Chains A and B, each alone.
Chain A
Amino acid sequence: MVSLDLLANAVVAGILLGGFYAAVSLGVSIAFGLLDVVNIAHPVFVILGSYAVYVTNTAFGLDPIVAGIVFTPVFYGIGVVVYRIYYVSFEKKGQESLRGLVFFFGVLFIVEVGLTLKYGVDYRLVEAQYIGESLRFGPVGIALRLLVPCVVAVLLTLVLYLYLAKTFVGRAIKAVSQDSLALRLMGADPVKVKDVAFGIAIATASLAGALLIMIGPVEPSMNREYIGRVFAVAVLGGMGSIGGTFLAAVIIGVAESLTSTFFGPSWAVAVSFGVLLLALAVRPAGLFGS
């Protein structure tokens, strides 16, 4: 007999978790969906974001979300540098499929091992006033450490959506994925547009990292369980569709939350993998792709 309260709680937690997954996946959606750059190192940049927030939070008591926003320019810069190396070494020569992937894998590995060397494999967490609190609506409890990240993720999704739809550069980013030659004819340099787009993709990792360490303690090798998840979200969301990414993230969040409530938390990791394989086998264009 499935308890209705348990179900309601699991669904609500899943929606909130899904919102947070959207924040982690948006960068992949932009890089993979719009720029065709298979950045498997994205989750490790999210972890890097978590550690940046952790350091400023423990040293100066800075609010995690403020810290996450403060670090976005730094991560934007990292993104531009990484994309430049990737472009000059692989994309320009048409070698992105094999060596480009290996390059990102190497980056993933270096950042992960570097963090392990510096901070060890201990779990790290941040402090903020609202992290322990929770709201209650009848039988359903909402922990603020899940609600705040979800709200921030919704805002981030909205900002990115409006940026891509309304601004000149945003539209150029969408255009570069469709027809970079036409973009060049319009007088815009596709490589510079991709610089900006990849910078933004990595900048979201800083904020997503802040949300991650707010939800729970973080340790360097955690990025690996997010790889399957973010790509499942990006594929299911229809590759580059911002709204689609958010919906796909919520679907996976709810599926995981239900799985961990009724089958045990250790099985939740397998959910996104199953979804990814299923999506690839049945509908590679995703739920919202054409």
Chain B
Amino acid sequence: MRGRTFGVVVIGMVLAGVLFTRLGANQYYYFAAYVILQYVVLATAWNILGGYTGYVNFGTAAFFALGAYTSVVLIKGFAAPLPVLLAAGAAVAGLLGLGIGYLTLRLRGVFFSIATLALAVVLQTMVINWDYVGGARGISVVRPGRLPFFGSYVEFLFAVMLLLAIFAIAVAWWIETSRIGRGLAAIRDNEEAAECMGVPTLRLKLIATTVSGSLMGVAGAPFPYYVTFVEPSSAFNLDYAVNSLAMPMIGGTTTWVGPVIGAILLGTTQQVATVTISSALNLLIVGIILVAFVILAPDGILGLVQRLKGGARA
């Protein structure tokens, strides 16, 4: 049943993507769709640790920016092609996740959360002080030349991000249905009991942090080509942290569908709102929706739907 939903969503996304490119839409729509898909990746990645395991990562911006700046270094130093950038972004951000997790996850979960909050500030400071990647001024990146099959480079990036989103969802789906997922759920529900039952809690938590971190890094890897001008304040934007946790919280955290729903809903709303009202006001709205959801609908939209269904049955 779940497998079928998963298949339907993936095929639907591919079809929608292909249709989107065939329509020959305005270039702006590619930019907007790229951002929404990027949030699908980030929200799914966040949820692997936050939703499945119950450990809150506030440092999405740090992992994302690490992916982006790894790309900047590789483009500037070695003119590396995009697949290398994606792999490198994933590897570096995954290692960061592993390191932070190893230092803090043996203690209470809050320390991990606090460490991730501080991490973004520290990494941003390091980037600001590193002239090779442009420091505080930022650095411009030249996109590679025209590609076959694609009308513009943005269309190509859109296709890449679509594949990454499908990949991220597939990873989440695989984790959820595998033994790892059941172990993570056991940790979320009662870590001590899980430990007593022989669940290797630390190892599972480290796997979750690493996978989650590397997916965030992958999402950031094409970022330099997308913006063509990378500066610390945009790469480390707090929007990434708040959105990537707000989206699963709003959609529902227990399955892979939740973050996707949340990312598409909230992402689309924000794209519309940024054009029609100011972007600062739009962020305020995200914050208020987030707080309203954690207080009033702790299981997100999926939880609300289930509650309605349950009510109809009773």
Nearest CB to that of A227 among chain B residues? Answer: B117
Given contacts A110-B288, A112-B238, 9 further A-B contacts (CB under 8 A): A102-B249, A109-B286, A113-B284, A116-B280, A228-B118, A264-B129, A276-B115, A277-B104, A277-B115
Q: For the complex, what is the distance from the CA of A105 to the CA of B294, rounded to whole Å?
A: 11
Q: Can you list 24 A-B contacts with CB-CB less than 8 angstroms, sorted by A residue number?
A: A38-B110, A40-B114, A40-B117, A97-B56, A97-B109, A101-B113, A102-B245, A103-B291, A106-B246, A109-B286, A109-B290, A110-B288, A114-B284, A227-B114, A227-B117, A228-B114, A228-B121, A267-B125, A267-B129, A270-B125, A272-B118, A273-B118, A276-B114, A277-B103
Contact indicator A273/B56 (Cβ below 8 Å): no
Residues in chain A near residue B8, CB distance under 8 A: none
Which of A89, A109, A114: most chain B Cβ within 10 A? Answer: A109
Contact indicator A106/B110 (Cβ below 8 Å): no
Given contacts A109-B238, A266-B125, contact A280 B118 (CB under 8 A): no
> With an 8 A cutoff between CB atoms, is A231 at the interface?
yes
Contact indicator B103/A280 (Cβ below 8 Å): yes
Contact residues, A265-290 vs B (CB, 8 A): 266-267, 269-270, 272-273, 276-277, 280-281, 284
> With an 8 A cutoff between CB atoms, is A196 at the interface?
no
Residues in chain A near residue B110, CB distance under 8 A: 38, 97, 101
Classify the interface of chain B: helix, strand, loop or mixed: helix
Contact indicator B281/A98 (Cβ below 8 Å): no
Contact indicator B238/A99 (Cβ below 8 Å): no
Contact indicator A280/B109 (Cβ below 8 Å): no
Task: Return the contact of B295 from the options A38, A101, A103 (Cβ within 8 A).
Answer: A103
For the complex formed, measure the closest distance between the CB of A97 and the CB atoms of chain B, giving whole angstroms: 6
Contact indicator B291/A95 (Cβ below 8 Å): no
Contact indicator A280/B50 (Cβ below 8 Å): no
> With an 8 A cutoff between CB atoms, is A85 at the interface?
yes
Task: Return the contact of B56 from the options A102, A228, A270 (Cβ within 8 A).
Answer: A102
Residues in chain B near residue A232, CB distance under 8 A: 118
Q: For the complex, what is the distance from the CA of A99 to the CA of B125, rounded to whole Å?
A: 29
Nearest CB to that of A89 among chain B residues? Answer: B295
Residues in chain B near residue A221, CB distance under 8 A: 238
For the complex formed, measure the closest distance between the CB of A245 and the CB atoms of chain B, giving whole angstroms: 16
Q: For the complex, what is the distance from the CA of A225 to the CA of B249, rounded to whole Å?
A: 25
> With an 8 A cutoff between CB atoms, is B87 at the interface?
no
> With an 8 A cutoff between CB atoms, is B252 at the interface?
no
Contact indicator B103/A38 (Cβ below 8 Å): no
> With an 8 A cutoff between CB atoms, is A224 at the interface?
yes
> With an 8 A cutoff between CB atoms, is B7 at the interface?
no
Q: CB-defined interface of B98-140 with A at 8 Å, one 1/0 digit per residue?
A: 0000011001011101110111111001101100000000000
Q: For the complex, what is the distance from the CA of A62 to the CA of B129, rounded to whole Å?
A: 39
Nearest CB to that of B239 among chain A residues? Answer: A109
Q: For the complex, what is the distance from the CA of A280 to the CA of B245, rounded to whole Å?
A: 25
Residues in chain A near residue B249, CB distance under 8 A: 99, 102
> With an 8 A cutoff between CB atoms, is B283 at the interface?
yes
